[in-house]
Amino acid sequence: MTADLRKLVDRLKAVGDSSRIRLLAVCAQGEWTVSELARVLGQSQPRVSRHLRILAEAGLLERLPEGAWVFYRRAVEGPGAAVLDLLLDQLPVDDPTLAGDRERLQRVREERRREVEAFFDSRALVWNSERDLGVDGSLVDAALLDLVRGHPVGSLLDVGTGTGHVLRLLAPHVEHAVGVDLSRDMLKVARVELDRAGIRNARVQQADMYALPFPDGSFDLVTFHQVLHFAADPAAALAEAARVLAPGGRLVVVDLARHDREDLRALRRHRRLGFSDGEMDRWFRRVGLQPGTPRRLAGEELTVVLWHGARAGRPARRLGREAA
């Protein structure tokens, strides 16, 4: 038996268990910790951990250790991903066990969201200081402006806009802009700040970063400013942002480089301890964006990185395609 055939047999053996099939179905819908997966399946954490180890060793799941947490998500590249695609296509949509898993997964999602929203709502008035985490915010603003200048931008979407800082910063350089956020308290503050600054070409609305209420190709520029480390599924958020990006448009992610400040999970509800260049590069390429050279701004403890990428194609002659 060749090595490749042996690996295929191992993968098929790995999926030969109903609990592991359920885990693959759940992990195809985001990144989850062992405790969250144990809640969805209604099994003990040691048992779920054993199943996850088998699936990861078979190349069907990716294991992402971060400090005291470990995330699991579906493999998206390699032979394991191909086998997983075939398996997921065969799952019966009306199976009651899988339906129950989806219901419990939705409750986990809602609890995550309520926790984050409660944190943000209680801190909306001081959110701008959160934006400065890691390095002087004025230096980050200058780097972001430098990326934007020289490129015509008709329409801007700022995802997770918070108090509208990016909107206020970039509004003079775009035709019109929209900021979206889940937190109503954040949006209240953003509206006040935009009005106070006399900005009339920007507005905000409540929306989910995983289901943006805009047509494909609506924006020339999409930004995430110190938002992605709160996301339960960063790759899905980037994929949705890429969907609404127009031909020739650009995506800019401002966030923390990978670090080990575990305390930020408890103090500021960070879900991810920053990101690596390689991780961001892979995500960009998977959604059809050509990555540019990251810009790094080092602080005393943490480093802020501006990752950016462009969609192929030429911008439309008439800019400003964002849906009303």
Here the CATH number for the domain that contains residue 260 is: 3.40.50.150
Same-domain check for residues 144 and 245: yes
Distances 310 to 9, 11, 136, 248 between C-alpha atoms, Å: 40, 36, 27, 6
DSSP annotation of 211: B
Q: Does residue 165 lie in a domain region? A: yes
Q: What is the pTM of this model?
A: 0.74
Q: Does residue 108 lie in a domain region? A: no
Q: Does residue 69 lie in a domain region? A: yes
- Note the pLDDT of residue 132: 60
Same-domain check for residues 244 and 303: yes
Both tokens assigned to 87: 């398996």
Same-domain check for residues 45 and 152: no
Domain end call among 91, 106, 141: 91
**Residue 258: exposure state from Cβ atoms within 10 A (0-12, 13-18, ≥19):** middle
Q: Does residue 120 lie in a domain region? A: no
Q: Does residue 104 lie in a domain region? A: no
Same-domain check for residues 22 and 130: no
Per-residue pLDDT of the chain (324 residues; tens, 9 = 90+): 788 788 888 888 888 999 999 999 999 888 788 999 999 999 999 999 999 999 999 999 988 776 778 889 888 778 888 889 999 999 998 999 999 999 999 998 888 777 767 766 776 665 555 556 667 888 999 999 999 887 889 999 999 999 899 999 999 999 999 999 988 888 888 888 888 888 989 999 999 999 999 999 999 999 999 999 999 899 999 999 999 999 999 999 999 999 988 888 887 788 899 999 999 999 999 999 999 999 999 988 899 999 999 998 876 544 433 443
210-244 burial string, b = 16+ CB within 10 Å, else e?
Answer: eebebeebbbbbbbbbbbbbbbbbbbbbbebbbbb
CA pair distance 75, 216, nearest whole angstrom: 26
Same-domain check for residues 72 and 151: no
Both tokens assigned to 47: 């048992």
Same-domain check for residues 147 and 65: no
Q: Does residue 206 lie in a domain region? A: yes
Domain that holds residue 188: 126-311
Q: What is the CATH number of the domain that holds 52?
A: 1.10.10.10
Q: Which helix (H) or strand (E) holds 38?
A: helix 34-41
* DSSP string computed for 59-106: TSEEEEEETTEEEEEE--SSHHHHHHHHHHHHS-TT-HHHHHHHHHHH
Looking at the structure of the chain, the number of domains it has is: 2
Same-domain check for residues 279 and 162: yes
Same-domain check for residues 40 and 134: no
- Could you tell me which of 148, 157, 209, 150 has the C-alpha nearest to residue 320? 157
Q: Does residue 102 lie in a domain region? A: no
Bridge-based pairing of strands 176-181 and 155-159 is: parallel
